[in-house]
């Protein structure tokens, strides 16, 4: 916020400097050639350039934050869809496939989706280990499937025989 306030002040000072020194036509103080306003104009141009650079960087940072947030929300939706498909399919030995598929779909959204997949997968595994008595071997196998999908591996590696094509 302070940087933004500073940038606004610099712009106002630059505009004032232009009004006083840089826009005169003909005679008068500082209006002719070699009146010393070249240095002022150069300083003003440098300041404007710095402000433009700061504004462009801020825009880029905000745009990136918005993109990552959108990817994370969409990735969370992908994870939920895989979970609900797993519950609906109710297919024996399909757990690893749906883990890999949810992570794969979320990671395809971009860095935000990949982050969401990791957070959700780790939380789910932690809850299952703590409250549902999942064995260490099952937890490791689930995490392997999560990582496989998150890193772009084909989820069909874990697809059980006979699982309907709609999944």
On whether the pTM is more than 0.85, the answer is no
Judged on CB neighbours under 10 Å (0-12, 13-18, 19+), 48 is middle
Q: pLDDT digits over 32-63, tens only?
A: 454 557 787 888 899 999 999 999 999 999 99
| Residue 51 and residue 93 in one domain | no
- Containing domain of residue 29, as a range? 2-66
Assess if residue 167 is contained within a domain.
Answer: no
Assess if residue 163 is contained within a domain.
Answer: no
* Contact predicate 129/143, CB 8 Å: no
Nearest to 143 by CA among 163, 160, 123: 123
| Residue 79 and residue 30 in one domain | no
* Contact predicate 71/113, CB 8 Å: yes
Assess if residue 143 is contained within a domain.
Answer: yes
Q: How much is the pLDDT for 69? A: 97
HEC profile of 76-120: HHHHHHHHHHHHHHCCCCCHHHHHHHHHHHHHCCCHHHHHHHHHH
Count of domains in the chain? 2
Q: State how far the Cα of 147 lies from the Cα of 39, in Å rounded to an integer.
A: 59
Is the confidence at residue 152, as pLDDT, over 70?
yes
Q: pLDDT digits over 18-29, tens only?
A: 444 454 444 444
Q: Which of 20, 35, 66 is the last residue of a domain?
A: 66
How many residues in the chain? Answer: 167
């Amino acid at each position: 916020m302070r940087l933004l306030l500073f940038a606004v002040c610099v712009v106002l000072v630059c505009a004032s400097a232009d009004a006083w020194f840089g826009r005169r036509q003909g005679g008068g103080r500082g209006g002719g050639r070699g009146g010393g306003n070249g240095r002022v104009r150069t300083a003003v141009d440098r300041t404007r350039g710095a402000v433009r650079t700061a504004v462009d960087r801020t825009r880029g940072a905000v745009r990136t934050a918005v993109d990552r947030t959108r990817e994370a929300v969409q990735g969370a939706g992908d994870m939920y869809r895989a979970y609900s498909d797993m519950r609906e399919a109710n297919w024996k030995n399909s757990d690893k496939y749906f883990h890999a598929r949810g992570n794969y779909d979320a990671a395809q959204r971009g860095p935000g989706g990949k982050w969401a997949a990791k957070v959700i997968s780790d939380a789910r595994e932690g809850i299952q280990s703590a409250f549902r008595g999942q064995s260490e071997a099952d937890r490791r196998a689930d995490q392997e499937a999560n990582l496989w999908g998150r890193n772009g591996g084909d989820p069909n590696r874990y697809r059980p025989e006979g699982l309907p094509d709609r999944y």
